[in-house]
Structure 1
Amino acid sequence: MEKVSRGVLLAFAAVVATPLMLPPFGGAAPAASGTGINCTRNCGNISIDYPFGIEPGCYHATGFNLTCNHSYHPPKLFLGDGTVQVLEISVPNGTVRIDSTAMLFPLDGGANVPNRTWGTGLPKSGPYFLSESKSMLEAIGCNLQVSILGGVDNSLVSSCTAICPSTDPNDTILVDGSCTGISCCQASIVLGYSFYDIQINLLPERQYYYFASVYIVDESHNFDNSMIFEGGPKALPATLDWIISSNSTCPTNNTAPECRSTYSYCQNYSSFSLAQHDGYVCQCSDGYQGNPYVLGGCQDIDECQQPNFYGCYGVCQNTPGNFTCQCGIGYTGNASIPNGCTDIDECEHPEAYSCYGRCKNLNGSFQCQCPNGTYGNPFTNGGCITIKKSFTGLSIGLGVGGGTGIIFLALGVPFISRKIKMQKAKKMREKFFNQNHGLLLQQLISHDADIGERMIITLRDLEKATNNFDRARVIGGGGHGTVFKGIIDLKVVAIKKSRIIVEREIEEFINEVVVLSQVNHRNVVKLLGCCLETEVPLLVYEFISNGTLYQHLHVEGPISLLWVDRLRIALEIARALSYLHSAASMPIFHRDIKSTNILLDDSLTAKVSDFGASRYIPIDQTGVTTEVQGTRGYLDPMYYYTGRLTDKSDVFSFGVLLIELLTRKQPFVYRSEHGDNLVSHFIKMLSIGNLIGIIDPQVMEEEDGEVQDVATLAAMCTKLRGEDRPTMREVETMLESVLVKKKQVPGIITKTRRPN
């Protein structure tokens, strides 16, 4: 516990509140295009995209004008005339992050405390409003209640209370690094206005007061004791939403003059406090991305470049604003789901495929030949003609004379041919073993004899285990390989043919094999070994017999997995990811968490599988920049846009999986009637208190008050900014607390099962 003296607390008296001063919105004539060659588009490390600008004619209207102050190094960017510092501008998201100035309330022996105003100077009609559901009130002080009032009627928006229980006025007790109501308090702000009145009420039963230092900040801000001991920062980041036009709505045809890109549309501003500041923004049409406010700003997304993200597992063809996806020639099924396209056995339909000879089915094709003893065209009915046998005296004589030679040839040629094939096969195995860095793997595992004895498996053993990779042994597949069922040493295993195409990735793959071989967690599928004697590496995993979470959850009919089973499975997945992120020998980010990659054993225990996209991260790093991999609907949008992979990317995917468990809706195909994806629609329904409109009816019937907690956790996990999401360790703790209330923590009671 730490203590703060009265003298240190009074150091806050030097902090003064700086109002946000901006000219009225809409006061200047809009620019013709805002993209002139004389327009400054960078200030320091901040990009400036239209409708924002610095020079006259480079921004949309007053309110969007900025000032770049070059007296700082590097230069700093400010709203309007240079009062409020800008930290970041996002045109696609319609947000501006600013430095939100601290407000200090010196308290004089319990006398009346005058109100202060946050955001003074921001026009009531826009374009800026505090971002809803991303902001919070934070107050530091003793024995007081802080209230935020806003809107036309200046009604209560949010409040919190901070007390100092010490009886000594010179000592204030602090909980280190935590804002729990002792010396500081926090409260969410879910109504976004352009200004707020801050009101301080002193608690009458307390005997002493010091000061109140009040902030409006992003929810991602973490309280730190330095805010007390070092006098506190003068400003903290806050996020503002903005609209392009105020006091109006989109025309009936969803077009507006500000939406200049051909592939853009007008969207009304959605807000809890909509009645106070209506207006609209521009968005790129579905299938396009970029800046809708400039000509040509919305560019077509080539979905075929990211087949896993957009859920195309067949032949993809990009079209303007869209794409088509179908199974390739020789395949049939649903190309939008993993392993949805299956090979057509043309030999079962000879007339349909015009094969009137000997047919052999191939992968995606077939082979048709005339039978032995015939010749001709096997694709024509009656096209194969029998070869007529005729023997003359000469042929008989030659046959008798050459009989002995033919016998020797008949016996010797197969033997010689087999020996040649065996030599070639051996050389190919050695070539692939070296090409796949087998020597590196041997070197890496040489220090651990236990791992070395079981990790390297020969191709001959795997061929024997799978009956030469018989297609009848295929049990699954996806974006990272095909899975066969096999038997090795009387143990059933799953053997996956990986799809590593880029040679430079193979060395990284070998390192990951070594790391994954040492992962030992009851909720992670165990890697047993690998074979490097083929063109692409083969991985051997323990066999999990009961299918995937996707198969159990998305069954036909109204009844699926019991709600208590879904909760337990979610906790088991969270424990596995928490282990991979923080307890494994090196942090491992899975990168493709989804219901099809969660296997269930006979007792419905969850096993995280398919580490084909996984990356391990050196302990001294927090993330790594990679080629984006993942599945549409589950993929972290910040990872998609930046290419930077962190542990919070798995947190986002897990949040989507939670929503899938709550709703029984498929993230990669779901669209609401307004075109929202599953995550966006779920967050909207949660924010307006209408969860019953999207939650699986079976869950609503079986739950006992925990759905709201799990839904809130899912919303936290799927926040846009990775910094705003909890860690998997925190997610694990929250789910454990939900299951403790329900008395269903795995390992404490017997798991429930859904009746057949």
Structure 2
Amino acid sequence: MELPRVPLILLAAWALAAAAADVPAARSPGCATTCGDIAVPYPFGLDPQCAINAEFRVNCTTVGGATKLFHGTLEVIRFSVPEGKAWLKTFISRQCYDQATATVFYNNAWMNIGNLPYVLSADENKVIVLGCRSMAYMLSDTYIIGCLSTCDEPLRNGSCSRTVGCCQADLPRGVRYYEGFFNSFYNTTAIWRQTPCNYVTVMEMAAFNFSTTYLTTRVFYDADDSRTPVVMEWGITRETCQQAKINRTAPYACVSDHSDCVDGDAGYRCRCSDGFRGNPYIQDGCKDIDECLDNVTYPCAGICENTLGNFTCSCPRGRDMVNGVCVKNRRSTWMAPVVGASVGLVALVIGITCAYLVRERRKLHRVKQRYFRQHGGLLLFEEMKSQQGVAFKIFSEEELQQATNMFEAQQVLGHGGHGTVYRGVLKSGVVVAVKRCTTIDEQQKKEFGREMLILSQINHKNIVKLLGCCLEVEVPMLVYEFIPNGTLFDLIRGDHTRHISLNTRLRIAYESAEALAYLHSCASPPILHGDVKSTNILLDGDYTARVSDFGASILAPNDKSQFVTVVQGTCGYLDPEYMQTYELTDKSDVYSFGVVLLELLTRKKAFNLEGPEQDKSLSMVFICAMKENKLEDILDDQIKNDENMEYLEEIAELARQCLEMSGVNRPSIKEVADKLDRLRKVMQHPWAHEDPEELDRLLGEPSVVNSAGTTGNFSMTNKAAMGLESGR
């Protein structure tokens, strides 16, 4: 039976529409491709119809008689489609002494690329701090990174060293926002004649060459309108290649034949396959490279023939290729000597190659041995021999490469300021978490082996076990036991329809505090965690809390002081006293834990970049709510009820004490753990609900001494908890 013609036409139209939906719209004819001297390649465009989507639209405008290209508010220097990078200009933060007013003034610059398809390149940029008395730092959307610059040695051009007026710090991956700040303690009032200003900026390292004039004059700030070049990595969307290929709500961008998809920190991007060049975002945009036209890059002494994605090099008839050169083929009495010489030459080349490979292998082995010694591997071995029964293993780089499938992107469990964590499976079948650290300073190298042995001896049910490390690489790798249920941050910030009871939250808080108390009081020597936050509290199979990630940890100093030249931590959790004194103490961990308590009470982020200025910091919002007696306004609705309110007020008061600006006024983490334990027990005890006044009368009015040396009465709930604990 013949089908009607109209439905066939409709089916064809639908098929064409469906096919078109999977292909992004190409640049319309007539679109401008340059702005002044700057090329604007697709997927970028100067008009809406000329860009792949709204995020890639750029603007060409005239400023002061010069034609300039802007993406949002940022000036663009150039784009690179093959590299997936863009070079932009960012502003400099400065701190200067004003002779007229005898005061120090600030220009704090910032960059926000949250709505643009970029992230700052962690490989090509650095945080640069200049000044003879400058403690400056970069506040990003996740981390605080900074360093101390002094002029303790004679200044010299070209050398960026913290003792000669210049220091630098590494960027974490994935940064889309930053703001530069100075510590007011390091002002320039005493040295303004010699060095009038201090500076901090994020800058492309290849474009930076330190000059002493940056300190003695204001040329660093005044040049190029107080801006510096910065390298951005861009992605089409923030999806991975695998996600983009199956996503039907947005077209897949790698439309050209002979193009590949590449995962990056900014999302996925496209590139032409090997042997092709061009624009992978355009149909047929990747063209075959004719290698025969470029004899320098693709040398051929014979007949070059281009093939798709490659080329061949051969000799004319009667000639043979010998050592890359076509020589006459003499099939006569000379054949035997020539063949013999060729065989000898091949044998010689093979011998030289083998010798080279053996030499390189030995060289690699020596490099690995050097790294091993630098990181204290020999000391670690000796300590392990002397301490029998230490369950700690020193892994080879090859073992961890096999365990993580060469550290492929699919194995990544998470990124942090100190490195990337991968899921791995050892040959024994044990699942582990492998952490590749990003950087390590010289002092840490000397102490690394000893500190690893100390951390390996930590044995607490609420602390993630360190199983071993790899020392034969430039930056050591750590191997931890694998914890399956994600982080506390995932639990409280995930599906808000999922009910999390107050009992569960209180238990997790208590277990976490117990773990920190063990580190502070029971470890020998004591250990300061340094980066307490909800993403560093993991949850195992039965949702027991496990404190992890000692990337920022230090051994507690014997002289009770720890001055640091590089400050780093996580926004929203960082102890304000630490930012002023650069002294990391046990009370710094207490402050950060107080923020974790707030997260459990509110299910809000510790630092919300997108909120109003007064609402960015959860701790500040909480302090204001407590002062105005509006605690209920910020509590999570799931736990806010009449039955829980008394306990919630107790926990909130404990959090407030942890968030005291002065560390001496904060309780110890052991006192915090004990208070949480008492609250947990009294919540579970029926007396607390049946007749709390009678229980209060029977138990009396016990008081406690806080860490500042003052005394204070506990509320009814506290007294009941203390009585229950002593009488069990």
Q: Under a length normalisation based on structure 1, what TM-score does the superposition of the two structures give?
A: 0.52
Match of residue 515 from structure 1: 454
Match of residue 561 from structure 1: 500
Q: State how far apart, in whole Å, the 2-side matches of 1:333 and 1:564 are.
A: 44
Deviations 1:223-257 (A, max 9, x none): xxxxxxxxxxxxxxxxxxxxxxxxxxxxxxxxxxx
Residues 416-425 or 538-547, more deviating: 416-425
Q: Does 1:655 align with 2:561?
A: no
Q: Does 1:311 align with 2:142?
A: yes
Task: Summarize the alignment of residues 370-389 of structure 1 with structure 2, pairs less than 5 Å apart.
Answer: 370-371=274-275, 380-383=286-289, 385-386=306-307, 387=311
Aligned residues: 448
The 3 A distance-change label for structure 1 pair 369 and 416 is farther
Match of residue 615 from structure 1: 554
- Name the aligned partner's letter for residue 479 of structure 1: G
Q: State how far apart, in whole Å, the 2-side matches of 1:350 and 1:428 are.
A: 47
Deviations 1:481-513 (A, max 9, x none): 111111222211111111233222212333321
- Name the aligned partner's letter for residue 518 of structure 1: Q
Deviations 1:190-231 (A, max 9, x none): xxxxxxxxxxxxxxxxxxxxxxxxxxxxxxxxxxxxxxxxxx
Query: Which of 649, 660, 664 is 1:723 aligned to?
Result: 664
* Aligned 8 A contact 2:431 2:482 in 1: yes
Q: State how far apart, in whole Å, the 1-side matches of 2:412 and 2:353 are.
A: 32
Match of residue 318 from structure 2: 394
Task: List runs of 5+ in structure 1 lacking aligned partners.
Answer: 1-286, 335-340, 746-756
Q: SS of 2:505's equivalent? A: helix
Q: Does 1:691 align with 2:619?
A: no
* Aligned 8 A contact 2:421 2:436 in 1: yes
Query: Which of 739, 744, 750 is 2:680 aligned to?
Result: 739
Q: Does 1:546 align with 2:485?
A: yes
* Aligned 8 A contact 2:259 2:270 in 1: no
- Name the aligned partner's letter for residue 484 of structure 1: Y
Q: State how far apart, in whole Å, the 2-side matches of 1:660 and 1:739 are.
A: 18
Deviations 1:356-412 (A, max 9, x none): 6475848668875545xx999997435454247877542589599769949979987
Residues 672-681 or 468-477, more deviating: 672-681
- Name the aligned partner's letter for residue 625 of structure 2: M
Task: State the shift of 1:602 in Å.
Answer: 1.5
Q: State how far apart, in whole Å, the 2-side matches of 1:412 and 1:506 are.
A: 39
Query: Which of 602, 618, 621 is 1:681 aligned to?
Result: 621
Match of residue 475 from structure 2: 536
Match of residue 413 from structure 2: 475
Deviations 1:303-348 (A, max 9, x none): 86545775254457866889999996445599xxxxxx88779997
The 3 A distance-change label for structure 1 pair 316 and 407 is same
The 3 A distance-change label for structure 1 pair 317 and 597 is closer
Deviations 1:28-64 (A, max 9, x none): xxxxxxxxxxxxxxxxxxxxxxxxxxxxxxxxxxxxx
Q: State how far apart, in whole Å, the 1-side matches of 2:330 and 2:233 are.
A: 46
Query: Which of 581, 594, 617 is 1:642 aligned to?
Result: 581
* Aligned 8 A contact 1:331 1:344 in 2: no
| Structure whose CA Rg is larger | 1
The 3 A distance-change label for structure 1 pair 589 and 301 is farther
* Aligned 8 A contact 2:433 2:479 in 1: yes
The 3 A distance-change label for structure 1 pair 712 and 644 is same
Q: State how far apart, in whole Å, the 1-side matches of 2:659 and 2:403 are.
A: 42
Match of residue 18 from structure 2: none
Q: State how far apart, in whole Å, the 1-side matches of 2:538 and 2:239 are.
A: 21
- Name the aligned partner's letter for residue 628 of structure 2: I
Q: State how far apart, in whole Å, the 2-side matches of 1:690 and 1:460 are.
A: 57
Q: SS of 1:599's equivalent? A: strand
Query: Which of 423, 426, 437 is 2:362 aligned to?
Result: 423
The 3 A distance-change label for structure 1 pair 417 and 526 is same
The 3 A distance-change label for structure 1 pair 311 and 434 is same
* Aligned 8 A contact 1:308 1:629 in 2: no
Match of residue 403 from structure 2: 465
Match of residue 189 from structure 2: none
Match of residue 710 from structure 1: 651
* Aligned 8 A contact 1:481 1:496 in 2: yes
* Aligned 8 A contact 1:548 1:596 in 2: yes
Deviations 1:637-680 (A, max 9, x none): 11111111111110000001101111111112265674563212
Q: State how far apart, in whole Å, the 2-side matches of 1:367 and 1:431 are.
A: 38
Task: State the shift of 1:704 in Å.
Answer: 5.8
Q: SS of 1:604's equivalent? A: coil
The 3 A distance-change label for structure 1 pair 356 and 418 is farther
Q: State how far apart, in whole Å, the 1-side matches of 2:521 and 2:278 are.
A: 67
Deviations 1:133-192 (A, max 9, x none): xxxxxxxxxxxxxxxxxxxxxxxxxxxxxxxxxxxxxxxxxxxxxxxxxxxxxxxxxxxx
* Aligned 8 A contact 1:483 1:497 in 2: yes
- Name the aligned partner's letter for residue 462 of structure 1: L
| % identical aligned pairs | 36
Deviations 1:600-624 (A, max 9, x none): 1121111111101001114x44442
* Aligned 8 A contact 2:254 2:260 in 1: no
* Aligned 8 A contact 1:463 1:469 in 2: yes
* Aligned 8 A contact 2:529 2:552 in 1: yes
- Name the aligned partner's letter for residue 725 of structure 1: R
- Name the aligned partner's letter for residue 498 of structure 1: C
* Aligned 8 A contact 1:347 1:360 in 2: no
The 3 A distance-change label for structure 1 pair 399 and 692 is farther
Q: State how far apart, in whole Å, the 2-side matches of 1:306 and 1:381 are.
A: 46
Higher helix share: 2
Match of residue 591 from structure 1: 530
Q: State how far apart, in whole Å, the 2-side matches of 1:634 and 1:321 are.
A: 17
Q: State how far apart, in whole Å, the 2-side matches of 1:502 and 1:438 are.
A: 16
Query: Which of 352, 374, 384 is 1:445 aligned to?
Result: 384
The 3 A distance-change label for structure 1 pair 560 and 381 is farther
Q: State how far apart, in whole Å, the 2-side matches of 1:472 and 1:509 are.
A: 29
The 3 A distance-change label for structure 1 pair 471 and 290 is same
Task: Summarize the alignment of residues 35-54 of structure 1 with structure 2, pairs less than 5 Å apart.
Answer: none
* Aligned 8 A contact 2:141 2:176 in 1: no
Match of residue 278 from structure 1: none
The 3 A distance-change label for structure 1 pair 639 and 562 is same
The 3 A distance-change label for structure 1 pair 509 and 300 is farther
Q: State how far apart, in whole Å, the 1-side matches of 2:357 and 2:244 are.
A: 30
Match of residue 299 from structure 1: 106
Q: Under a length normalisation based on structure 2, what TM-score does the superposition of the two structures give?
A: 0.54
Deviations 1:405-464 (A, max 9, x none): 49979987886665454333322211221232322322343421333x733222222222
Q: SS of 2:626's equivalent? A: helix
- Name the aligned partner's letter for residue 106 of structure 2: Q
